[in-house]
């Protein structure tokens, strides 16, 4: 039976670096190629040596698909294509292709900033890699080769995020990447056809998290910023170049407008222009409200948000600053943090997850005394807030997607094992389908039962109808008998005569023979007659003939009798039958092996 | 271990014991283990458990209770193995009855944890760390762990199965008997590339270990014998794993072990070879080659192994055959007979498709011909086989002529024919196989492989004369309307490569040059930015190749038929895609390099380019283009100074005023840029000015010309600390006044300001580079070893702006506003601090800005301390063990805090 195999090299029972290998219909597809920001060595990249025998990924993989621009999904891409040497097709949506290099550059900077970093990709590698990317449009079926096709669907989450439907013949898999089933301020909700894939591979970040509504979080965020500003404090929001920063900017811009606030909002290092450019360029990927209002006013042209200069950090009075990088581990955000940390009126809002070792991680865990360079200690007096604005489907959203796509099996990835376990139970209970949650390196194998299309000859259908069969109806499947032939890569069900003709073959008769010994102290003709009588009594309704040539015939089965040379009482019966009467032939040989009843005349 | 860490370690152990669930960061435990591994390696005495009893308590508790999170248990098993790696540590663990329990599979099975792959990984890796001494080996054998480990070979987890293999290989190799003969190093290079290396330098078998070792070897040998041959046609997993194990072993086994392994595996290997299982071809070839290499290392190859190798090269399935032949070549050909055979196999598909008779006329010898044709008719296998074949052609063409069935030029011709067939033209292959043509026509995969092969074939012997033919096909590809961007990119690469080898333009024709010009003109306006970028890059590389080959100055222009690549590149400066703009700038630099080297006066065109570049530097919204601009000036400046051997004092005078004026602008714009790499490149430019000003001066040593060695315009700058020098100065007045002049020039050019603003930059690479340059500056101008600099030098001053970096520098200097006012007063009164009239004016005018003496600034900034901090970088916070331990402790505290609300939980999501 055909199988589909799913092996996570990353994102199996964790939220590290997504990298999932799918083997379907003889094709190998890699889904995402993420990086783990928590490591400084080779552990940050997926280890491809587990999946190739000769180290040549290009020979092994048919294509690579990137779901969105977050680094835990695309961060290892230049490593894979320029350093490991994968040279096959890479697919991602247009916005992802445009934004990916910005994020990769952003991370390269962070990496170069660290001491002793080696073996990391360069800017040129990022560019060379992006030049190899084939952009995808939503809902457009792309033929990777003669057998493999892929189709992208809107996933929400971030600008350009896509789910992807992978199809080889009648087998298919859907990979969700990260997705969001509720629209937010700048993006719409994920959507997919009722494509009934064999496997739906879904992220499960918020598999069990009871999340307060997004509106609630937004209100809370605005309230905290406002309070801090009111008491004359400064608010620092460390962000990555693109993504949730834009959502928070829209939020603050609207709020400032409504409340007529005067405190300045700054955005560091010219990122707003870049973001504006991409959001304008890919306006069709944003949500309906933004698209509608775009003509009157571009949501991403901010009136209140100005470019930041480092000298502003020392200005007196309240202000809000968006600064990179998002985990407070280097650069401008760290520099501002150091300046403002000592004042309890100030506030830092961390809008996302921070890896171990970063200042962001430390302050979120509650550290109040930080050892800085040169053994200096920094007292953290400012208020620290964590507000995750990342847009993932929660349990309800995941169930909603399952209802939409109606998969035959589920595979959960990109989540914590404990949470997955809970969701797995829920899915299996509600949908009665198998749900798997492989750890990294483990393979899920799902057997598929593919439907193979077969053409039926008109003659065969006519003959069937002539025998009183019903008219063909696609809604009422039924059994047809005929000869299956394969010609020019297609299957046809035809009558055996037609098959012989089409294939240019001669008809041959196949007969089975068998010898049965029995003890019967009669002459050979008598024994034959006794057999005839016995069969007549046992096989009612069958055509049984005693022929003058010394044989008995039951349908196509021929029975002959001869005596053994050594012992005339030992009779050797020779049975021969055509393959159409195979069942009857077997039955007769078994019957005669038991001997003849004594009462026969 | 650091005293602070010692204090924290018990608390950390407690946190790990208390946490009923995994820590919020999944990297923490691995980093903790990394740190402890480092400490264990340094601790030769193995006294870690004694010094830190909390570790033993922790291991013991986790192992006994089994209630911890699986990730903590896995960590503990690894830690346990690590601690048991020394005999003392092992003894201590055994005394505490920890070992039996920790490495008992039954124990974890009963606890319901064995199913979790992370426990199995911990179990294997723990054992692996521990098995470094005879006592551990005895423990391993007595606990009958060999069989259990062998079972894990076929684990459902790739990671577990691979670790089990590595572990078995480690035991057999590490403890293998020592013979007087040298260990096998043949084929070692290849195996060194493998992911995890089993160390071959072990203690060897001694009286203590021989019995245990034999026990492990016996069980493993039996397993090898039984599991090498797949039982059923569909179950290859076990055979595959066993072959991998055998491959690992044979690559490093010394004679007694190697002979034993070969003896054990010979018959099953033959059976596997005969069975011809496609899935096993590559690992099987690895094993056979490892066996072959190791046996040839002793002199005469083992006949049995040689037969196996021959069998591999006569397999019936063409796809397997191709794989085996490719594996043989990639591992380095063991002997000429087999190498020649592999070459014939690999060239066969190319021969068949193109009909180029690469294998000569006596093709009857190639018994695979018919089956190969059959396979080539199937599209998937055709593409796959031809790609493998193409990948190997460059290597084949470089092999000794006696191994080749045809000259290299024939291979090039065949590749060219294939490229023509791919684009739908089969006219050059009348003897080819038309039934296969349809499989390769328009196949991007084959086109890419063929173009790569063609690029590689350029350096083959005797192919230079084919340049015209090669260029014709490549231009056809560049012209083809359906060529995808990657195919075009590879075509350009091939053109550059062939031209770099055959720089003699007499090989080309006017028609070809004209065609190339036309196609480049067309592609530079392509709709796709990828194509435009490749075209622009091509123009730059072409210029670079021809300059480095020292051909006639205007060769590139000649080659491009006077189409003037510079004008195309100037157009490309307006490209909407920043990548293309950046490539155009660096291509321009390469195009103009020759005229710069000649020291020719800039043309009007070059002047226009310069003003456009300065515009880009000040206005372009993308960093790539701005970085390229600074790199352009670096290239200009350095090519000019490297080409002439003028004395430092005269160099500035002979430099083009256009360049010097531009450099000042670049320094001022670049240092104020938002992009960190633009700033780093600006500092590199400043370094060139420093080099030029001080070269030859006592104490000054030119820094590493990192920028010249960079492979491309946006390469990462390597952080090389500059050499500091001690000075044994013998002053002369003339030299000092000369130095003062140079110093003043540098200040006027803005070099000093660039360095100071870089020093207080928030991006570490920028401040590090600036700090290094400032120290170099100081050591030349006013070294700390000299009490006071000469008066003329000491009097040179510069201006610090009253905002931004100027303020930060003032703060660093400890100057309060009142100090500044005082300085300004002194200046106004004509006191000795300032001697520059300009500076006085600025102070009086600007109000905020302040004048300071360069030497005083250099001596007061605390540059050496700052350099120490910058070299440590943010790593000091990120990666120190202390930071890690503190993070675990605070995470534990946050986790157990009663006030923590569920909504405030930090969720691991995405980034």
SS (H, E, C) B263-302: HHHHHHHHHHHHHCCHHHHHHHHHHHHHHHHHHHCCCCCC
Closest residue to B911, CB basis, from A72, A127, A362 = A72
CB contact at 8 A, A7 and A24 = no
B contacts of A8 (beta carbons < 8 Å):
none
Structure tokens at B878: 């990120």
DSSP code of residue B718: P
pLDDT value for B834: 39
Show the beta-strand stretches assigned E in A204-258.
Answer: 234-238
Nearest to B670 by CA among B719, B637, B711: B637
Which residues does residue A299 pair with via DSSP β-bridges, in sequence order? Answer: none
A138: which strand partners?
A: A152
CA B156 to chain centre: 32
**Cα distance from A226 to chain B (closest Cα, Å)?**
20
Q: Report whether A74 contacts A33 (CB < 8 A).
A: yes
Distance of residue A406 Cα from the nearest chain B Cα, in angstroms? 26
Interface test with B, best of A19, A351, A357 (most B CBs within 10 A): A357
pLDDT at res. B189 = 39
pLDDT at position A311 is 80
CB contact under 8 A, A70 and B911: yes
pLDDT surpassing 90 at residue A79: yes
Q: Could you tell me which of B281, B333, B339 has the C-alpha nearest to residue B312?
A: B281
C-alpha closest to that of A241 among A104, A387, A384: A104
- The nearest CA of chain B is from the CA of A358 a distance in Å of 6
DSSP A48: G
Q: Which two tokens stand for residue B140?
A: 């391993």
Pick from A49, A73, A359: CB nearest B195: A49
Tell if the CB–CB gap between A59 and B868 is shorter than 8 Å. no
Which residues of A belong to the active site?
Answer: 203
Q: How many residues does chain A have?
A: 601
% of chain A surpassing 70 pLDDT: 94
Assess B911–A contact: CB distance below 8 Å, yes or no. yes
Using an 8 Å Cβ cutoff, are B762 and A335 in contact?
yes
**pLDDT tens for residues A467-515?**
777 777 777 777 888 899 988 778 999 988 889 988 888 888 888 899 9
What is the structure's pLDDT at B562? 47
Locate all alpha helices (DSSP H) within B480-575, ordered by sequence. Answer: 485-501, 510-523, 529-548, 555-559, 565-572
Which pLDDT value is given to residue B300? 53
Q: What pLDDT, on a 0 to 100 scale, did the predictor assign at position B604?
A: 85
CATH classification number, A214-386, choose in 3.40.1710.10, 3.40.50.10890, 3.40.228.10, 3.90.950.20: 3.40.50.10890
DSSP secondary structure of B863-893: HHHHHHHHHHTTHHHHT-HHHHHHHHHHHHH
> Could you tell me the two tokens for A250?
């829209």
Of A7, A70, A326, the CB nearest to B158: A7
The hierarchical CATH code for the domain A3-210+391-447 is 3.60.15.10
- Rounded to 10 degrees, what is the CA torsion of B276, B278, B282, B283? -70
| Beta-carbon count within 10 A of B400 CB | 10
**Residue B135 Cα, gap to closest chain A Cα (Å):** 32
Determine how β-strand A444-447 pairs with β-strand A3-10: antiparallel
B865 neighbourhood in chain A, CB within 8 Å:
374
Largest CA distance in chain A: 127
Q: How far is CA A117 from CA A39, A77, A546, B558, in A?
A: 11, 18, 96, 44
Residues of B with CB below 8 A from A335's CB?
A: 762
State pLDDT tens for residues A59-74: 899 999 999 999 999 9
Strands (E), A455-556: 455-456, 483-487, 490-494, 511-519, 544-547, 551-554
Which residue has better confidence, A598 or A539?
A: A539
Contacts of B825 (CB under 8 A, 6+ apart): none
Q: Which two tokens stand for residue B881?
A: 């063990």
pLDDT at B883: 87
Residue A270: closest C-alpha in chain B: B674
Cα separation values, A277 from A98, A286, B735, Å: 10, 13, 55
Pairing of strands A305-307, A265-267: parallel
Taken in order B876, B877, B879, B882, the sign of the CA dihedral is positive
For domain A511-594, which CATH number applies: 2.60.40.4070, 3.40.50.360, 3.40.50.2300, 3.30.530.50?
3.30.530.50
In terms of CA atoms, which chain B residue is nearest residue A148? Answer: B380
Q: Is B527 on the interface with A (CB under 8 A)?
A: no
Burial of residue A295, with CB atoms counted within 10 A of its CB: 0-12 exposed, 13-18 middle, 19 or more buried: exposed
A443 band by pLDDT with thresholds 50, 70 and 90: very high
The burial class, CB within 10 Å (0-12 / 13-18 / 19+), for A433 is middle
For residue B392, what pLDDT is reported?
Answer: 95
Answer yes or no: do A310 and B579 touch at CB < 8 A.
Answer: no
Give the pLDDT of residue B706. Answer: 37
Section A410-419 average pLDDT = 92
Angle in degrees, CA B231, B234, B236, rounded to 5: 65
Q: Are strands A141-143 and A148-154 parallel, antiparallel or unpaired?
A: antiparallel
> What's the gap in Å between the CA of B881 and the closest CA on chain A?
10
Pick left, alpha or beta for residue A468 (phi over 0 → left; psi -120 to 50 → alpha; otherwise beta).
Answer: left
Q: What SS3 class is residue B612? A: helix
Mean pLDDT of A541-567: 89
* ipTM summary value: 0.87
Q: How much is the mean pLDDT over chain A?
A: 88
- Six token digits for residue B258: 């190697």
Domain ranges of chain A: 3-210+391-447, 214-386, 455-468+480-503, 511-594
* Tokens linked to A408: 């035959």
| A122·B887 Cβ contact <8 A | no
Q: Which two tokens stand for residue A24?
A: 């379907």
Residue A199 main-chain phi, psi, to 5 deg = -135, 135
Write out chain B residues lying below 8 Å of A109, CB-based.
676-677, 763
Find the CB nearest B910 among A70, A331, A440.
A70
Q: Would you tell me the crossing angle of helices B733-749 and B764-781 to the nearest 10 degrees?
A: 150
pLDDT at A566 over 70: yes
**Contact call for B763 and A116, based on CB within 8 A:** no
How many other C-beta atoms lie within 10 A of the C-beta of residue A489? 5
Q: Give the three-state DSSP class for B792.
A: helix
- For residue B645, the distance in angstroms to the closest alpha carbon of chain A comes to 33
Q: If you measure CA to CA, which chain B residue comes closest to A217?
A: B903
Smallest CA–CA distance from B383 into chain A, residue: A59
Low-confidence ranges of chain B (pLDDT < 50): 181-201, 299, 561-562, 645-653, 704-731, 816-818, 821-822, 824-838, 840-847, 900-903
For chain A, say whether B910 makes contact (Cβ under 8 Å): yes
Interface contact B485, partner A, CB < 8 A: yes
Cα A281 to Cα A94, A247, A270, A277: the distances in Å are 10, 17, 18, 6
Mean pLDDT confidence for A269-298: 71
Can you read off the two tokens belonging to residue B273? 């070879």
Q: Which of B31, B24, B27, B100 is nearest to B59 (CA)?
A: B100
């Amino acid at each position: 039976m055909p199988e589909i195999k799913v092996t996570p090299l990353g994102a199996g029972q964790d939220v590290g670096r997504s990298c999932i290998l799918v083997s379907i219909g003889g094709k190998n597809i890699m889904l995402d190629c993420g990086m783990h920001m928590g490591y400084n060595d080779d552990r940050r990249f997926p280890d491809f040596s587990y999946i190739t025998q000769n180290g040549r990924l290009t020979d092994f993989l048919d294509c690579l698909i990137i779901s969105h621009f977050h680094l835990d999904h695309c961060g290892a891409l230049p490593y894979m294509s320029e350093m490991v040497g994968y040279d096959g097709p890479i697919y991602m949506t247009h916005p992802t292709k445009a934004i990916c290099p910005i994020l990769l550059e952003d991370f390269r900077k962070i990496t170069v900033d660290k001491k002793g970093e080696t073996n990391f990709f360069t800017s040129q590698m990022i560019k060379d890699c992006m030049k190899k990317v084939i952009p995808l449009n939503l809902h457009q079926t792309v033929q990777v080769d003669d057998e493999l096709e892929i189709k992208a669907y809107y996933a929400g989450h971030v600008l350009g995020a896509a789910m992807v439907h992978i199809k080889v013949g009648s087998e298919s898999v859907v990979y969700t990447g990260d997705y969001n089933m509720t629209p937010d301020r700048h993006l719409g909700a994920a959507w997919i056809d009722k494509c009934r894939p064999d496997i739906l591979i879904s992220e499960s970040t918020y598999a069990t998290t009871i999340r307060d509504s997004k509106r609630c979080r937004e209100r809370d965020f605005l309230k905290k910023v406002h309070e801090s500003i009111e008491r004359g404090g400064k608010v620092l929001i460390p962000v990555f170049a693109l993504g949730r920063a834009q959502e928070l900017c829209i939020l603050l811009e609207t709020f400032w407008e409504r409340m007529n606030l005067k405190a300045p909002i700054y955005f560091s290092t010219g990122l707003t222009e870049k973001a504006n450019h991409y959001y304008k360029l890919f306006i069709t990927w944003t949500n309906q409200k933004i698209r509608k209002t775009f003509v009157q006013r571009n949501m991403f042209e901010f009136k209140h948000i100005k470019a930041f200069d480092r000298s502003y950090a020392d200005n007196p009075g309240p202000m809000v600053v968006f600064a990179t990088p998002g985990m407070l581990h280097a650069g401008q955000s760290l520099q501002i943090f150091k300046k403002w940390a000592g004042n309890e009126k100030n506030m830092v809002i961390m809008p996302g997850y921070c890896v171990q070792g970063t200042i962001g991680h430390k302050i979120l865990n509650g550290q109040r005394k930080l050892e800085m360079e040169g053994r200096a200690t920094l007292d953290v007096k400012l208020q620290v807030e964590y507000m995750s604005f990342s847009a993932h489907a929660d349990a309800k959203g995941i169930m909603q997607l399952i209802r939409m796509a109606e998969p035959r099996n589920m595979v959960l990835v990109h989540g914590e094992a404990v949470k997955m376990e809970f969701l797995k139970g829920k899915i299996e209970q509600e949908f009665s389908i198998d749900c798997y949650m492989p750890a990294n390196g483990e393979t899920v194998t799902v057997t598929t039962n593919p439907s193979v299309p077969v053409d039926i000859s008109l003659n065969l259908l006519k003959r069937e109808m002539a025998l009183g069969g019903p008219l063909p109806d696609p809604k009422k499947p039924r059994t047809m008998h005929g000869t299956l032939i394969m010609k020019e890569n297609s299957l046809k069900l035809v009558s055996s005569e037609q098959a012989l003709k089409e294939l240019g073959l001669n008809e041959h008769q196949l007969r089975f023979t068998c010898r049965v010994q029995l003890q019967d102290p009669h002459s050979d003709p008598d024994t034959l007659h006794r057999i005839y009588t016995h069969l007549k009594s046992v096989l009612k309704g069958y055509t049984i003939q005693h022929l003058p040539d010394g044989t008995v015939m039951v349908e196509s089965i021929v029975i002959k009798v001869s005596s053994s040379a050594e012992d005339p009482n030992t009779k050797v019966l020779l049975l021969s039958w055509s393959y159409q009467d195979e069942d009857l032939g077997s039955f007769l040989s078994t019957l005669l092996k038991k001997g003849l009843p004594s009462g026969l005349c | 271990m650091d005293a602070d860490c010692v204090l924290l370690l018990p608390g950390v152990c407690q946190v790990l014991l208390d946490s009923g669930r995994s820590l919020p960061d999944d990297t923490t435990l691995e980093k903790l283990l990394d740190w402890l591994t480092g400490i264990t390696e340094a601790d030769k005495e193995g006294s870690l458990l004694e010094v830190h009893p909390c570790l033993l308590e922790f291991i013991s508790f986790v192992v006994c209770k089994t209630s911890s999170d699986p990730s903590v248990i896995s960590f503990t098993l690894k830690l346990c193995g690590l601690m048991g790696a020394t005999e003392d540590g092992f003894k201590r663990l055994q005394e505490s009855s920890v070992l039996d329990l920790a490495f008992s599979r039954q124990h974890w099975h009963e606890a319901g944890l064995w199913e979790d792959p992370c426990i199995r990984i911990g179990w294997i890796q723990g054992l692996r760390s521990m098995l470094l001494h005879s006592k551990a080996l005895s423990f391993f054998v007595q606990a009958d762990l060999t069989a259990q480990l062998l079972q894990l070979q076929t684990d459902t987890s790739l990671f577990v199965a691979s670790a089990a293999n590595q572990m078995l290989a480690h035991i057999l190799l590490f403890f293998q008997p020592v013979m007087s003969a040298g260990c096998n190093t043949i084929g070692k290079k290849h195996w060194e590339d493998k992911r995890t290396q089993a160390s071959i330098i072990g203690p060897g078998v001694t009286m203590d270990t021989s019995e245990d070792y034999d026990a492990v070897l016996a069980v493993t040998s039996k397993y090898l014998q039984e599991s090498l041959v797949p039982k059923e046609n569909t179950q290859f997993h076990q055979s595959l794993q066993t072959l991998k194990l055998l491959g690992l072993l044979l690559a490093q086994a010394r004679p007694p072990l190697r002979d034993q392994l070969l003896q054990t595996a010979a018959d099953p290997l033959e059976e596997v070879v005969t069975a011809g299982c496609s899935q096993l071809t590559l690992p099987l070839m690895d094993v056979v080659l490892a066996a072959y290499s190791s046996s040839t290392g002793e002199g005469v190859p083992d006949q049995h192994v040689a037969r196996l190798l021959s069998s591999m090269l006569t397999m019936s399935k063409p796809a397997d055959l191709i794989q085996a032949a490719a594996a043989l070549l990639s591992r380095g050909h063991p002997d000429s007979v087999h190498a020649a055979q592999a070459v014939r196999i690999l060239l066969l598909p190319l021969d068949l498709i193109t009909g180029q008779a690469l294998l000569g006329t006596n093709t009857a010898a190639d018994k695979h011909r018919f089956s190969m044709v059959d396979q080539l008719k199937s599209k998937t296998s055709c593409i796959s086989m031809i790609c493998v074949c193409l990948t190997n052609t460059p290597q084949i063409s470089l092999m000794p002529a006696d191994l080749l069935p045809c000259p290299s030029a024939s291979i090039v011709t065949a590749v060219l024919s294939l490229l023509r067939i791919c684009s739908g033209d089969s006219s050059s292959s009348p003897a080819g196989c038309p039934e296969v043509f349809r499989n390769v026509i328009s196949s991007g995969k084959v086109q890419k492989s063929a173009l790569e092969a063609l690029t590689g074939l350029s350096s083959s012997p005797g192919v230079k004369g084919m340049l015209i033919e090669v260029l014709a096909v490549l231009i056809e590809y560049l012209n083809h309307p359906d060529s995808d961007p990657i195919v075009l990119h590879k075509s350009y690469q091939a053109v550059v490569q062939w031209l770099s080898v055959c720089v003699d333009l007499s090989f080309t024709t006017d028609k070809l040059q004209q065609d190339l010009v036309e196609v480049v003109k067309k592609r530079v306006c392509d709709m796709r930015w990828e194509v435009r970028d490749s075209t622009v890059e091509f123009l730059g590389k072409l210029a670079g190749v021809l300059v480095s080959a020292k051909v006639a100055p205007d060769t590139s222009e000649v080659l491009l038929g006077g189409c003037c690549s510079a004008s195309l590149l100037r157009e490309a400066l307006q490209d909407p895609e920043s990548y293309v703009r950046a490539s155009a700038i660096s291509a321009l630099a390469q195009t103009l390099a020759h005229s710069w080297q000649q020291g020719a006066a800039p043309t009007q065109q070059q002047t226009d380019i310069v003003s456009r570049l300065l515009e880009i530097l000040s206005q372009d919204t993308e960093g790539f283009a701005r970085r390229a601009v600074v790199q352009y000036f670096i290239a200009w400046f350095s090519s000019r100074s490297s080409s002439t051997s003028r004395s430092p004092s005269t160099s500035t005078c002979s430099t083009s005023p256009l360049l010097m004026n531009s450099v000042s602008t670049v320094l001022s714009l670049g240092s104020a840029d938002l992009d960190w790499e633009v700033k780093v490149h600006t500092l590199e430019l400043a370094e060139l000015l420093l080099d030029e000003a001080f070269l030859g001066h006592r104490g000054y040593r030119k820094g590493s010309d990192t920028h010249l060695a960079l492979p491309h315009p946006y390469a990462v700058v390597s952080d090389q600390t500059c050499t500091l020098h001690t000075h044994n100065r013998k002053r002369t007045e003339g030299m000092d006044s000369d130095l003062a002049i140079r110093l003043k020039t540098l200040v006027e050019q803005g070099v000093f300001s660039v360095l100071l603003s870089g020093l207080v930059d928030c991006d570490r690479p920028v401040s590090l580079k600036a700090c290094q340059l400032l120290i170099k500056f100081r050591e030349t101008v006013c070294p700390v070893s000299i009490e006071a600099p000469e008066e003329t030098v000491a009097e040179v001053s510069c201006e610090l702006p009253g905002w931004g970096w100027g303020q930060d520098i003032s703060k660093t200097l400890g100057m309060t506003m009142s100090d500044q006012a005082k300085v300004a007063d002194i200046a106004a009164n004509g006191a000795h601090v300032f001697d520059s009239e300009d500076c006085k004016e600025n102070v009086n005018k600007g109000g905020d800005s302040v004048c300071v003496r360069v030497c005083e600034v250099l001596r007061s900034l605390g540059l050496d301390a700052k350099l120490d901090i910058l070299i440590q970088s943010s790593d000091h916070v990120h990666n120190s063990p202390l930071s890690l331990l503190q993070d675990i402790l605070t995470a534990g505290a946050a986790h157990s805090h009663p006030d923590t609300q569920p909504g405030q939980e930090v969720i691991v999501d995405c980034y």
